[in-house]
Amino acid sequence: MNSFEQNRQSWNELTSLHTESGFYDVESFKKGKTSLNHIELEELGDIKGKKIFHLQCHFGMDTLSFARLGAEVVGVDISDTSIKKAKELSEELDIPARFIRSNVYDIENVLNETFDIVYTSYGAINWLDDLDKWAKIINRYLKPGGMFYMVEFHPFIYTLNNDAEITDSYFNTKPLETAVESSYTDNSEVSGKNLKHIEWQHSLSEVMNSLISNGMKIEFLNEFPYQVYNCFPNLVEIKKDKWVFEKHRDKIPYMYSVKARKI
Protein backbone atom coordinates (compact mmCIF):
# COMPACT_ATOMS: atom_id res chain seq x y z
CA MET A 1 0.00 0.00 0.00
CA ASN A 2 1.48 3.38 -0.98
CA SER A 3 1.74 6.38 1.34
CA PHE A 4 -1.22 8.24 -0.12
CA GLU A 5 -3.51 5.25 0.28
CA GLN A 6 -2.35 4.88 3.89
CA ASN A 7 -3.17 8.52 4.54
CA ARG A 8 -6.52 8.31 2.74
CA GLN A 9 -7.60 5.46 4.98
CA SER A 10 -6.46 7.18 8.18
CA TRP A 11 -8.18 10.45 7.25
CA ASN A 12 -11.38 8.60 6.44
CA GLU A 13 -11.30 7.34 10.02
CA LEU A 14 -10.32 10.67 11.59
CA THR A 15 -12.91 12.75 9.76
CA SER A 16 -15.74 10.99 11.55
CA LEU A 17 -14.16 11.98 14.87
CA HIS A 18 -13.45 15.55 13.74
CA THR A 19 -17.02 16.32 12.75
CA GLU A 20 -18.15 15.45 16.29
CA SER A 21 -15.33 17.26 18.11
CA GLY A 22 -15.37 20.51 20.03
CA PHE A 23 -12.17 21.45 18.21
CA TYR A 24 -14.01 21.89 14.90
CA ASP A 25 -17.27 22.97 16.58
CA VAL A 26 -19.53 22.16 13.64
CA GLU A 27 -22.64 23.27 15.52
CA SER A 28 -21.37 26.85 15.82
CA PHE A 29 -20.39 26.77 12.16
CA LYS A 30 -23.92 25.72 11.25
CA LYS A 31 -25.22 28.74 13.18
CA GLY A 32 -23.08 31.09 11.09
CA LYS A 33 -19.66 31.21 12.76
CA THR A 34 -16.74 31.29 10.32
CA SER A 35 -14.06 28.63 10.58
CA LEU A 36 -11.46 31.02 9.15
CA ASN A 37 -8.89 32.73 11.38
CA HIS A 38 -8.00 36.42 11.55
CA ILE A 39 -4.72 35.87 9.67
CA GLU A 40 -6.16 34.50 6.45
CA LEU A 41 -9.16 36.84 6.57
CA GLU A 42 -6.93 39.90 6.88
CA GLU A 43 -4.30 38.80 4.38
CA LEU A 44 -6.71 37.64 1.69
CA GLY A 45 -8.86 40.75 1.84
CA ASP A 46 -12.16 41.01 -0.02
CA ILE A 47 -12.90 37.77 -1.85
CA LYS A 48 -16.48 38.49 -2.90
CA GLY A 49 -17.02 37.33 -6.47
CA LYS A 50 -13.65 35.54 -6.58
CA LYS A 51 -13.31 31.97 -7.80
CA ILE A 52 -11.34 29.96 -5.19
CA PHE A 53 -9.76 26.51 -5.44
CA HIS A 54 -9.09 25.04 -1.98
CA LEU A 55 -6.45 22.31 -1.91
CA GLN A 56 -6.74 19.66 0.83
CA CYS A 57 -9.99 21.08 2.16
CA HIS A 58 -10.76 18.36 4.78
CA PHE A 59 -14.54 18.33 5.33
CA GLY A 60 -15.07 21.75 3.83
CA MET A 61 -15.70 24.23 6.64
CA ASP A 62 -13.11 26.75 5.42
CA THR A 63 -14.26 26.27 1.83
CA LEU A 64 -17.86 26.95 2.83
CA SER A 65 -16.76 29.92 4.96
CA PHE A 66 -15.30 31.44 1.77
CA ALA A 67 -18.60 30.76 0.01
CA ARG A 68 -20.44 32.60 2.78
CA LEU A 69 -18.22 35.59 2.02
CA GLY A 70 -19.39 35.58 -1.58
CA ALA A 71 -16.75 33.48 -3.32
CA GLU A 72 -17.36 30.70 -5.84
CA VAL A 73 -15.56 27.70 -4.35
CA VAL A 74 -14.19 24.28 -5.26
CA GLY A 75 -12.59 22.05 -2.62
CA VAL A 76 -10.49 18.94 -3.14
CA ASP A 77 -9.42 16.32 -0.61
CA ILE A 78 -8.03 12.79 -0.69
CA SER A 79 -10.48 11.49 1.93
CA ASP A 80 -13.77 9.99 0.75
CA THR A 81 -15.36 10.64 4.15
CA SER A 82 -14.21 14.26 4.19
CA ILE A 83 -15.72 15.00 0.78
CA LYS A 84 -18.95 13.22 1.71
CA LYS A 85 -19.25 15.32 4.89
CA ALA A 86 -18.40 18.51 2.98
CA LYS A 87 -21.16 17.85 0.44
CA GLU A 88 -23.60 17.10 3.28
CA LEU A 89 -22.75 20.40 4.99
CA SER A 90 -23.08 22.31 1.73
CA GLU A 91 -26.52 20.82 1.10
CA GLU A 92 -27.77 21.11 4.68
CA LEU A 93 -26.76 24.76 4.99
CA ASP A 94 -27.70 25.61 1.39
CA ILE A 95 -24.23 27.01 0.68
CA PRO A 96 -23.28 26.53 -2.99
CA ALA A 97 -19.95 24.71 -3.38
CA ARG A 98 -18.30 21.93 -5.33
CA PHE A 99 -16.23 19.21 -3.68
CA ILE A 100 -14.01 16.66 -5.44
CA ARG A 101 -12.44 13.52 -4.00
CA SER A 102 -8.92 13.34 -5.41
CA ASN A 103 -5.26 13.29 -4.56
CA VAL A 104 -3.94 16.81 -5.28
CA TYR A 105 -1.45 15.32 -7.74
CA ASP A 106 -4.25 13.65 -9.74
CA ILE A 107 -6.68 16.57 -9.83
CA GLU A 108 -6.02 17.34 -13.51
CA ASN A 109 -7.79 14.09 -14.36
CA VAL A 110 -11.09 15.45 -13.06
CA LEU A 111 -10.93 19.27 -13.08
CA ASN A 112 -10.25 21.50 -16.10
CA GLU A 113 -10.65 25.19 -15.29
CA THR A 114 -8.79 28.11 -13.74
CA PHE A 115 -9.28 30.24 -10.62
CA ASP A 116 -8.60 33.70 -9.20
CA ILE A 117 -7.20 32.21 -5.98
CA VAL A 118 -5.65 28.88 -5.02
CA TYR A 119 -5.66 28.39 -1.25
CA THR A 120 -4.24 25.91 1.24
CA SER A 121 -3.81 26.02 5.01
CA TYR A 122 -2.80 24.54 8.36
CA GLY A 123 -1.34 21.05 8.25
CA ALA A 124 -1.73 20.47 4.52
CA ILE A 125 1.62 20.32 2.73
CA ASN A 126 3.11 17.83 5.20
CA TRP A 127 0.95 15.20 3.43
CA LEU A 128 2.68 15.86 0.10
CA ASP A 129 6.05 14.42 -0.85
CA ASP A 130 6.88 16.56 -3.90
CA LEU A 131 6.47 20.34 -3.64
CA ASP A 132 7.73 20.95 -7.16
CA LYS A 133 4.80 18.92 -8.45
CA TRP A 134 2.50 20.74 -6.01
CA ALA A 135 3.63 24.15 -7.27
CA LYS A 136 3.06 23.09 -10.89
CA ILE A 137 -0.53 22.21 -9.95
CA ILE A 138 -0.98 25.62 -8.33
CA ASN A 139 0.31 27.39 -11.45
CA ARG A 140 -1.89 25.24 -13.69
CA TYR A 141 -5.07 26.24 -11.86
CA LEU A 142 -4.43 29.97 -11.54
CA LYS A 143 -5.60 32.52 -14.06
CA PRO A 144 -2.85 34.88 -15.32
CA GLY A 145 -2.15 37.25 -12.43
CA GLY A 146 -4.06 34.97 -10.06
CA MET A 147 -3.17 34.70 -6.38
CA PHE A 148 -1.81 31.76 -4.44
CA TYR A 149 -2.18 32.06 -0.68
CA MET A 150 -1.17 29.68 2.07
CA VAL A 151 -0.96 29.78 5.85
CA GLU A 152 0.82 26.88 7.53
CA PHE A 153 2.46 25.57 10.66
CA HIS A 154 6.08 26.68 10.69
CA PRO A 155 8.51 23.84 9.84
CA PHE A 156 10.59 24.75 12.89
CA ILE A 157 7.77 23.39 15.08
CA TYR A 158 8.40 19.91 13.72
CA THR A 159 11.91 19.87 15.12
CA LEU A 160 10.46 19.86 18.67
CA ASN A 161 9.36 16.93 20.80
CA ASN A 162 6.38 16.94 23.19
CA ASP A 163 8.50 18.77 25.78
CA ALA A 164 9.36 21.51 23.25
CA GLU A 165 12.99 20.40 23.00
CA ILE A 166 14.78 20.31 19.64
CA THR A 167 15.22 16.64 18.81
CA ASP A 168 14.78 16.42 15.03
CA SER A 169 16.56 17.98 12.09
CA TYR A 170 14.95 20.97 10.42
CA PHE A 171 16.25 19.55 7.15
CA ASN A 172 14.78 16.08 7.48
CA THR A 173 13.87 14.80 4.01
CA LYS A 174 12.80 11.27 4.91
CA PRO A 175 9.12 10.38 5.31
CA LEU A 176 7.90 10.19 8.89
CA GLU A 177 5.64 7.24 9.62
CA THR A 178 3.46 7.17 12.75
CA ALA A 179 0.69 4.93 14.01
CA VAL A 180 -2.71 6.63 14.22
CA GLU A 181 -4.31 5.79 17.54
CA SER A 182 -6.17 8.98 18.46
CA SER A 183 -7.30 12.33 17.06
CA TYR A 184 -5.42 15.57 17.68
CA THR A 185 -8.78 17.26 18.29
CA ASP A 186 -9.64 15.67 21.63
CA ASN A 187 -7.46 12.55 21.85
CA SER A 188 -10.46 10.34 21.11
CA GLU A 189 -9.39 6.88 20.00
CA VAL A 190 -9.81 5.71 16.42
CA SER A 191 -11.66 2.45 15.84
CA GLY A 192 -9.64 1.32 12.83
CA LYS A 193 -6.63 -0.92 13.32
CA ASN A 194 -3.16 -0.58 11.80
CA LEU A 195 -3.81 2.96 10.58
CA LYS A 196 -0.73 5.01 9.71
CA HIS A 197 0.17 8.56 8.83
CA ILE A 198 3.03 9.21 6.45
CA GLU A 199 4.24 12.81 6.38
CA TRP A 200 7.07 14.88 4.94
CA GLN A 201 8.81 17.92 6.39
CA HIS A 202 9.33 20.90 4.10
CA SER A 203 11.65 23.78 4.94
CA LEU A 204 10.71 27.38 4.14
CA SER A 205 13.32 27.47 1.38
CA GLU A 206 11.79 24.37 -0.24
CA VAL A 207 8.32 25.93 -0.18
CA MET A 208 9.48 29.27 -1.56
CA ASN A 209 11.78 27.88 -4.23
CA SER A 210 9.13 25.46 -5.50
CA LEU A 211 6.78 28.39 -6.08
CA ILE A 212 9.42 30.68 -7.59
CA SER A 213 10.68 28.00 -9.98
CA ASN A 214 7.15 27.34 -11.20
CA GLY A 215 6.16 30.79 -12.36
CA MET A 216 5.11 32.46 -9.13
CA LYS A 217 6.19 35.90 -7.88
CA ILE A 218 6.32 36.07 -4.08
CA GLU A 219 4.53 39.11 -2.65
CA PHE A 220 5.14 38.34 1.01
CA LEU A 221 6.33 35.80 3.53
CA ASN A 222 5.11 36.40 7.08
CA GLU A 223 6.05 34.49 10.23
CA PHE A 224 4.03 34.46 13.44
CA PRO A 225 5.17 34.09 17.09
CA TYR A 226 2.02 32.17 18.06
CA GLN A 227 -0.26 29.36 16.98
CA VAL A 228 -3.99 29.82 16.29
CA TYR A 229 -4.91 26.27 17.32
CA ASN A 230 -4.37 24.34 20.52
CA CYS A 231 -3.29 21.22 18.64
CA PHE A 232 0.26 20.62 19.89
CA PRO A 233 1.25 19.38 23.36
CA ASN A 234 1.91 21.83 26.21
CA LEU A 235 0.56 25.00 24.65
CA VAL A 236 -0.74 27.92 26.71
CA GLU A 237 -3.07 30.69 25.53
CA ILE A 238 -1.45 34.14 25.87
CA LYS A 239 -4.33 35.98 24.15
CA LYS A 240 -7.57 34.80 22.61
CA ASP A 241 -6.74 32.25 19.90
CA LYS A 242 -3.00 32.78 20.32
CA TRP A 243 -1.20 29.73 21.68
CA VAL A 244 2.50 29.25 22.49
CA PHE A 245 4.73 26.67 24.13
CA GLU A 246 5.04 27.58 27.79
CA LYS A 247 8.76 26.88 27.51
CA HIS A 248 9.48 29.20 24.57
CA ARG A 249 6.56 31.65 24.64
CA ASP A 250 6.81 34.04 21.64
CA LYS A 251 10.55 33.56 21.03
CA ILE A 252 10.08 31.09 18.17
CA PRO A 253 8.01 30.97 14.97
CA TYR A 254 4.81 28.91 15.06
CA MET A 255 3.18 29.67 11.71
CA TYR A 256 3.91 31.39 8.41
CA SER A 257 1.95 32.69 5.46
CA VAL A 258 2.83 33.23 1.80
CA LYS A 259 1.14 35.24 -0.90
CA ALA A 260 2.27 34.87 -4.50
CA ARG A 261 1.07 35.80 -7.99
CA LYS A 262 1.17 33.84 -11.20
CA ILE A 263 3.51 35.69 -13.53
Residue-wise pLDDT tens digits, 192-215: 567 889 999 999 999 999 999 999
In a domain, 83, yes or no: yes
In a domain, 62, yes or no: yes
Burial, 113: exposed, middle or buried (Cβ in 10 Å; 0-12, 13-18, 19+)?
Answer: exposed
Distance, in Å, from the CA atom of 201 to the CA atom of 63, rounded to the nearest integer, reads 25
For residue 252, the model assigns a pLDDT of 98
pLDDT above 60: residue 188? no
Distance, in Å, from the CA atom of 129 to the CA atom of 178, rounded to the nearest integer, reads 16
pLDDT above 90: residue 163? yes
Instruction: Tell me the three state secondary structure of residue 239.
Output: strand
In a domain, 178, yes or no: no
Distance, in Å, from the CA atom of 237 to the CA atom of 231, rounded to the nearest integer, reads 12
Q: Quick one: average pLDDT of 149-178?
A: 94
pLDDT digits (tens, 9 = 90+) for 87-103: 999 999 999 999 999 99
Distance, in Å, from the CA atom of 218 to the CA atom of 209, rounded to the nearest integer, reads 10
Instruction: Find the CATH number of the domain harbouring 94.
Output: 3.40.50.150
pLDDT above 90: residue 190? no
Going 162 to 165 to 166 to 168, the CA torsion angle's sign is negative
pLDDT digits (tens, 9 = 90+) for 211-251: 999 999 999 999 999 999 998 989 999 999 999 999 999 99
In a domain, 245, yes or no: no
* Helix (H) / strand (E) containing 113: none
Q: Quick one: average pLDDT of 31-50?
A: 97
Name the phi and psi angles at 25, rounded to 5: 50, 60
pLDDT digits (tens, 9 = 90+) for 54-80: 999 999 999 999 999 999 999 999 999
For residue 237, the model assigns a pLDDT of 96
Measured in whole angstroms, the distance separating CA 83 from the mean position of its chain's CA atoms is 15
In a domain, 173, yes or no: no
Q: Quick one: average pLDDT of 118-125?
A: 97
Evaluate whether 73 touches 97 at the Cβ level (below 8 Å): yes
Structurally, how many domains does the chain consist of? 1
For residue 219, the model assigns a pLDDT of 98
- The chain-wide mean pLDDT, for the chain, equals 93
Q: In terms of residue numbers, what domain contains 41? A: 3-155+202-226+253-262
